[in-house]
């Protein structure tokens, strides 16, 4: 039987809905979503059947990387609202029975943060060592060969200090020096500021990139480059320079675990809170397992290997089993997409054709895996990746790599609320990113009226999921099968069948006391000892009917 008692932490098996505030709902007519917009739609979020929300950054920022370049950790950027708005959001979310996780970016700040402005002034000020500074080589060149994720060197020369500063991303996002205990104390105080306000946890941005090699050794080269950004780059023969190094010295350092332990200790000062870390490495599954292997580390960790272009039952099984084998004691988190990746409806479209049936199946599959589940706004609508003209691109990474890679904006366009309204009801003025025309037919008002829509399927499935405890907390075990079928059991009593392909498959069903479970929204046929499972469909069987 499932361990579904009060001692089970709320985040284990929870479904967390990610909100990208810029693109959720604009209420002050500046074309940018805001906190009051989120508040006004929290009932919609609660009605989905999720357990909590994750808010992408809403803090004070010059927005060079749309909030991941923070200039004030403890205030709300005016484009999103005020601290009072955040408190109201927190209060209403909790009143609806939902938890609230907020993004925290501790690897780096904006160059407009007061800490960096003081640090760059000279080599002797009180915050001189709060960022990663280094002298040039004897010939004036950069300290080493480390590369920035957003292109070029990870070092920029600052003429005021006469030194280079390190930045893993844009040069306007200098890296904090988390070897410095004063910086760690300052970050701990930021955590307490938000924990005292009542947040339920943090999503830690690039949590494996806090520290670096203090000897500043060059990263070794790879014999071949590869890309993370989608099959279109591979087809173009495009090699992204960042991926042509083994990043053994500028991230994933063993010492980084010490920072994680300190952050966990702060979190543990409060009851019932959690930390989920984003793992940004070549093997993010192994890294996620490493960072969650005991109770002094993260509660769970996010990885990207189910956000890659490959779509197969074997891929999904291999990734999940890879995590389990890496650390059987760890609790995983799973997602198919977020604000940094193309929408799964497009990325995994079979023969390039998106379909609501596949969107339904993928949503159910994700929410049937063992772990904490993260779903991204718009997945419940089956939205495809938006296509943008070059002039519409806002993502700094897209601007650098266009046309081989058009950036992350395709998954960041505004949510379509009302099909007959200007800008699909997102805003009364021109949005910061255009409404994608194909999304209008999938607007929320349209789907709410269609009993067979992706939206109504999601609502029904998540409601049904809460009645099946084994889907929440029990172990997962995969069974040998053939493509495109995925079969796994959760615990001892529940077996799950998923057809990832377009054609109907014929499968043997369990014998003995196994019985089909209804109420999940999928359609199939049972004939004798066979299961006829249509394309993009699923079936569930229980051995002990009392579990549902």
Half-sphere exposure of residue 221: CA atoms within 13 angstroms, side-chain side: 5
Q: Cα separation of 30 and 63, whole Å?
A: 15
Q: What is the CA radius of gyration of the chain?
A: 23
Annotated catalytic, 205? yes
Could you write out the DSSP letters of every residue in 281-347?
STTHHHHHHHTTSSTTS-SEEE--TTSSS---HHHHHHHHHHHHHH-TT--BEE-S--TTS--HHHH
Sheet bearing 530-533, strands edge to edge:
505-508, 530-533, 525-527
Of 205, 243, 340, 409, which one is the catalytic site residue?
205
How many other C-beta atoms are found inside a 10 Å radius of the C-beta of residue 162? 12
How many other C-beta atoms are found inside a 10 Å radius of the C-beta of residue 326? 18
Q: Where are the beta strands (DSSP E) in 83-193?
A: 99-104, 133-134, 155-158, 163-166
- Determine whether 181 is exposed, middle or buried from the number of CB atoms within 10 Å of its CB (0-12, 13-18, 19+): exposed
Per-residue DSSP letter, 387: P
Sign of the alpha-carbon torsion through 394, 399, 401, 403: positive
Q: Cα separation of 151 and 136, whole Å?
A: 20
Annotated catalytic, 269? yes
**Size (the chain), residues:** 548
Q: Are 320 and 336 in contact (CB under 8 A)?
A: no
How many other C-beta atoms are found inside a 10 Å radius of the C-beta of residue 37? 24
376: tokens are 């991204």
Which of 158, 450, 184 is CA-nearest to residue 192? 184
Residues 6+ apart with CB under 8 A from 367: 15, 373, 375, 461, 462, 465, 471
The whole-angstrom distance between residue 13's C-alpha and the CA centroid of its chain comes to: 16
Of 122, 189, 269, 504, which one is the catalytic site residue?
269
Catalytic positions are 205, 269
């Amino acid at each position: 039987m499932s361990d579904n008692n009060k001692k089970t932490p709320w985040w284990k098996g929870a479904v967390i809905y990610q909100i990208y505030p810029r693109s959720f709902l604009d209420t002050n007519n500046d074309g940018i979503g805001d906190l009051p917009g989120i508040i006004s739609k929290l009932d919609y979020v609660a009605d989905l059947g999720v357990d909590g929300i994750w808010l992408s950054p809403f803090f004070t920022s010059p927005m060079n990387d749309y909030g991941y370049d923070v200039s004030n950790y403890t205030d709300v950027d005016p484009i999103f609202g005020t601290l009072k708005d955040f408190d109201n959001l927190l209060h209403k979310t909790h009143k609806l029975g939902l938890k609230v996780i907020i993004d925290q970016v501790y690897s780096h700040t904006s160059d407009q943060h007061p800490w960096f402005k003081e640090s760059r002034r000279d080599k002797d000020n009180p915050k001189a060592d709060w960022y990663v500074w280094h002298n040039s080589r004897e010939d004036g060149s950069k300290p080493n060969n480390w590369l920035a994720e957003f292109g070029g060197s990870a070092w920029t020369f600052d003429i005021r200090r006469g030194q280079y500063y390190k930045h893993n991303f844009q040069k306007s996002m200098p890296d904090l020096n988390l070897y410095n205990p004063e910086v760690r104390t300052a970050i701990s105080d930021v955590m307490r500021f938000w924990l005292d306000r009542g947040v339920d946890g943090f999503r830690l941005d690039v949590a494996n990139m806090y520290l670096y090699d203090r000897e500043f050794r060059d990263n070794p080269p790879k014999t071949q480059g590869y890309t993370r950004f989608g099959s279109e780059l591979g087809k173009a023969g495009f090699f992204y320079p960042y991926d042509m190094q083994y990043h053994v010295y500028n991230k994933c350092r063993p010492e980084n675990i010490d920072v994680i332990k300190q952050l966990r200790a702060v979190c543990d000062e409060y009851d019932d809170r959690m930390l989920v870390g984003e793992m940004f490495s070549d093997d993010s599954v192994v890294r996620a397992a490493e960072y969650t292997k005991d109770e002094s580390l993260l509660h769970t960790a996010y990885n990207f290997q189910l956000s890659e272009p490959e779509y197969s039952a074997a891929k999904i099984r291999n990734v999940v089993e890879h995590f389990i084998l890496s650390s059987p004691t760890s609790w995983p988190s799973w997602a198919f997409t977020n604000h940094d990746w193309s929408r799964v409806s497009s990325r995994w479209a079979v023969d390039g054709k998106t379909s609501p049936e596949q969107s339904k199946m993928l949503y159910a599959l994700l929410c049937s895996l063992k772990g904490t589940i993260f779903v991204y706004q718009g997945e419940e609508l089956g939205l495809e990746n938006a296509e943008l003209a070059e002039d519409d691109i806002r993502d700094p990474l897209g601007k650098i790599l266009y046309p081989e890679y058009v950036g992350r904006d395709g998954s960041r366009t505004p949510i379509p609320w009302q099909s007959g309204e200007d800008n699909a009801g997102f805003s009364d003025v021109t949005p910061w990113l255009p409404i994608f025309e194909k999304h209008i037919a999938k607007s929320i008002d349209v789907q709410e009226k269609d009993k067979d829509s992706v939206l109504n399927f999601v609502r029904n499935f998540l409601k049904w999921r809460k009645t099946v405890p084994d889907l929440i907390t029990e172990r997962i075990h995969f069974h040998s099968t053939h493509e495109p079928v995925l079969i796994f059991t959760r615990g001892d009593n529940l077996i799950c069948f998923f057809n990832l392909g377009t054609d109907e498959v014929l499968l043997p069903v369990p014998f003995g006391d196994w019985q089909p479970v209804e109420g999940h929204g999928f359609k199939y046929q049972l004939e004798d000892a066979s299961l006829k499972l249509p394309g993009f469909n699923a079936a569930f069987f229980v051995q002990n009917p009392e579990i549902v």
